[in-house]
Amino acid sequence: MVEFAVEMLNITKTFGSLVANDDINLQVKKGEIHALLGENGAGKSTLMSILFGLYQPDKGVIKINGQEVKIRNPNDANDLGIGMVHQHFKLVEVFSITENIILGSETTKYGILDLETSKKKIEQMSKEYHLEVDPNAQVSDITVGMQQRVEILKMLYRKADILIFDEPTAVLTPQEIDELMKIIRSFADDGKTIIIITHKLNEIKQIADYCTVLRKGKKIATVDVKKTDISALANMMVGREVSFSVEKTPAKIEEPLLIVENLTFKEHKSNKEILSNVNFSVNKGEIVTIAGVDGNGQSELIKIITGLFTPTSGRVIFKDTDITNTSIIERIEKGMGHIPEDRQKMGLILDYTLAENMILNSYFKEEFSSKGILNKEAMIDYTNRLINRFDIRSSSGSLSIVRGMSGGNQQKAILAREVSRDPDLLIAVQPTRGLDIGAIEYIHKELIAHRDKGKAVLIVSFELDEVLSISDRILVMYNGEIVVSLDASKTNADELGLYMLGAKRGELNGE
């Protein structure tokens, strides 16, 4: 008989009328790397939250190392040796790495915190597992990659031997991803059991032994990764044939629409230079993508272009007019569309209905209001048209409260609002973050269709696959500067990775 480290048998979990997990079986052997694959809303996170004690299953049994257990809360999970690295890290920014790792299981001496001993232990663990961290550094000062290593050390410090990773590569550079893969592999070789939640197929192929596919709350299959190819996995996950390559014709580039000149931005408090002398332009009829690791100034650059920030020096020229100091609404009216980086905080008013959100930057138009009174019928008609055209799904159509909608549909709603205003320049920051293959495919098609109408599209993305497949031209940002401008058809992931890490600088051809 095979000994399983984790067995989840006949797990069923419902939320109201929604069946998140429907009679799911998951069995993971000791020392195995098991991938959990599925679209958004397929039930992966719910299943892992059950294993980690955040939810209680309505039905079903959990066995750890053959013993039936009840996991009532994360403390129980910890006691059973289950650790989890969440997609959004849960670290205290103002604490040092050591303080973060020991938080909750501190070593004390006569009731007084013994940081020295803990620090030594962490240093030793850091060497042993090749997880390079500086125990004295403060979390707010370290890279995302290092933060993730801190999270991993946190699990190991608590002697976890069943490790759950929730979308671990979403925030990493290609080089960091390779490094992480090696580390995960070495954990498995040490006899630790690993479960990875992901929807990135090539990573599964690269690292996992087995893969369980979920779709709409049901388990579709558990497959041996070596014997299954990527397209078969994708078909199981989506339930239909998926096209991987983004189909697009060569760009028909016309005159420049947006010109950014010598843009410099210093943070008010620290006076730290976030952007240094940035120059580039975006032409009609092309998709320009700004690639780079998160936190290299992309966010500030877009905020300056869209009017949320004012630059320290430099100019933004849009349609031959200097718009550096004009208001946000003037820019929107002039033909700028913006799909912001944080859809919940910036893109939507979550407590408003879908219809109210759809007119967020056009409520004052004659179509939706007259003499200051909103025309609710027109709002709802308009929203219903967008719902049909963009296939936005929600519980009660145009009157759904947006907070209750899924992430993918929230993003589709923003896309619908911005694209349907037909802006001359569409700016999209991480337009497909956290979305599943089906939704990504859809959003990419819409962005390309917008370009094909002769409009300009400016994208910021941290996903290399996306950068390479959708762009006509790629600008790489590193440390507040644009270090290279590349023709998307003549580059590859490795080259981009080197520019993104600052190891290489190139020509800003044509700029």
Partner 1 sequence: MENKRENSALRSYGQKVLSRFKEFRVSSTMDKIKASVISALGGILVGLIIMMLINFQGVIDFIITLASGKFKFDPNTYIIGSIVQSAPILIAGLSVAFAFRTGLFNIGASGQILVGGITAIYIGHLISLPGPLHFLVALIGAIIAGSIWGGITGTLKAYFNINEVVTSIMLNYVAAHLVKFLSRQKLVFDLFRSQTKMLPKSATIPTLGLDRLFPHSGFDISIFIAILTAILVFIILEKTTLGYQLKAVGYNPLGAKTNGIKYRRNIILSMLIAGALSGLAGGIIYLSGANATQIRVQINIPGEGFDGISVALLATNSPIGVIFSAIFINFITQFGSLVEGASTFKKEISDVIIAVIIYFSALSSITLYYLNVRKRKRLKHNSELNKEGDE
Q: Which of 61, 113, 329, 503 binds partner 1 (CB under 8 A)?
A: 329
* Measured distance CA(199)–CA(465) in Å, rounded: 13
Beta-bridge partners for 473: 288, 487
CA angle in degrees (0–180, nearest 5) for 365-367-369 = 65
Rounded to a whole number of angstroms, the minimum distance from the CB of residue 364 to partner 1 is 6
Of 11-19, 123-131, 227-235, 459-467: span binding partner 1 (CB under 8 A): 11-19
Shortest spacing between CB 231 and partner 1, in angstroms: 24
| Nearer to partner 1 among residue 113 and residue 493 (C-beta) | 113
Judged by CB under 8 A, which of 277, 281, 406, 469 binds partner 1? 406
When asked if residue 427 is in the footprint of partner 1 (CB under 8 A), the reply is no
Q: Of the ranges 180-188, 259-267, 345-353, 494-502, which one interacts with partner 1 (CB under 8 A)?
A: 345-353
- Cα 24 to Cα 10: distance, rounded to the nearest angstrom: 5
* Interface positions, 108-167, toward partner 1 (CB under 8 A): 154, 158
Among 65, 228, 361, 479, binds partner 1 (CB under 8 A): 361
Helix H or strand E encompassing 255: none
If one asks whether residue 90 binds partner 1 (CB under 8 A), the answer comes out as yes
Q: How far apart are CA 390 and CA 420, in angstroms?
A: 10
With binding defined as CB under 8 A, does residue 373 bind partner 1? Answer: yes
Contacts of 85 (CB under 8 A, 6+ apart): 148, 151, 152, 155, 163, 164, 165, 166, 168
Cα→Cα distances 116→102, 112, 122, 126, 188, Å:
12, 12, 10, 15, 30
- Going by C-alpha positions, the residue among 174, 204, 281 that lies closest to residue 509 is 281
Tokens 């070596």 -> residue? 226
Shortest reach from residue 392's CB to partner 1, in Å: 10
Question: Whose Cβ is closer to partner 1: residue 84's or residue 177's?
Answer: 84
Instruction: Tell which positions 377-396 bind partner 1, by CB under 8 A.
Output: 393-395
Task: Map residues 13-32 to x or -, x wherever contact with partner 1 holds by CB under 8 A.
Answer: -x-xxxx-------------
The answer to whether the CB of 41 falls within 8 A of the CB of 15 is: no
Cα–chain center distance at 444: 16
Q: Which is nearer to partner 1, 404 or 454 (CB)?
A: 404
Show the site string, 172-211: x = touches partner 1 by CB under 8 A, - = not: ----------------------------------------
Integer Cα distance of 148 and 168 in angstroms: 8
List C-alpha distances in Å: 88 to 148, 166, 191.
9, 9, 26
Least separation in angstroms between CB 396 and partner 1: 9
Count of chain residues binding partner 1 (CB under 8 A): 63
**Please, what is the minimum distance in Å from the beta carbon of residue 509 to partner 1?**
33
* Residues present in the chain in total: 511
Considering the complex, what minimum distance in angstroms separates the CB of residue 111 from partner 1?
Answer: 11
**Smallest gap, in angstroms, from Cβ of residue 46 to partner 1?**
12
Q: C-alpha 263: how far from its chain's center?
A: 27
Q: Under rule CB under 8 A, which residues in 55-84 are in contact with partner 1? A: 73-75, 77-79, 84
Q: What's the closest the beta carbon of residue 390 comes to partner 1, in angstroms?
A: 14
Binding mask 289-318 for partner 1 (x = CB under 8 A): -----------------x-x----------
DSSP 368-413: TEETTEE-HHHHHHHHHHHHHHHT---TTGGGSBGGGS-HHHHHHH
- Number of other CB atoms surrounding residue 451 within 10 Å: 23
Which residue bears the tokens 């994708």? 234
CA proximity to 84, closest of 9, 178, 187, 160? 160
Task: Report the residue from 174, 340, 480, 497 that binds partner 1 according to the rule CB under 8 A.
Answer: 340
Closer Cβ to partner 1, 276 or 326, answer by number: 326
| Closer residue to partner 1, CB minimum distance, 174 or 307 | 307
Site string for partner 1, 100-119 (x = CB under 8 A): ---xxx--------------
SS3 336: strand
d(CA 248, CA 452): 9
The single residue among 32, 35, 38, 52 that binds partner 1, judged by CB under 8 A, is: 52
Strand partners, 215: 218
Query: Is residue 421 involved in binding partner 1 (CB under 8 A)?
Result: no
| Residue among 85 and 263 whose Cβ is closer to partner 1 | 85
| Contact flag: residue 508 with partner 1 (CB under 8 A) | no
Q: Which of 45, 118, 400, 485 binds partner 1 (CB under 8 A)?
A: 400
CB 147 within 8 A of CB 139: yes
Report DSSP letters for 210-244, one per residue: EEEEEETTEEEEEEEGGGS-HHHHHHHHHSS----
Q: Residue 165 CB, nearest distance to partner 1 (Å)? A: 15
**Residue 95: which of 126, 146, 139 has the closest Cα?**
139
Q: Which is nearer to partner 1, 19 or 142 (CB)?
A: 19
Residues that bind partner 1 (CB under 8 A): 14, 16-19, 40-41, 52-54, 73-75, 77-79, 84, 86, 90-91, 103-105, 154, 158, 306, 308, 327-329, 331-333, 338, 340, 345-352, 356, 360-361, 363-364, 369, 372-374, 393-395, 400-401, 403-406, 408-409
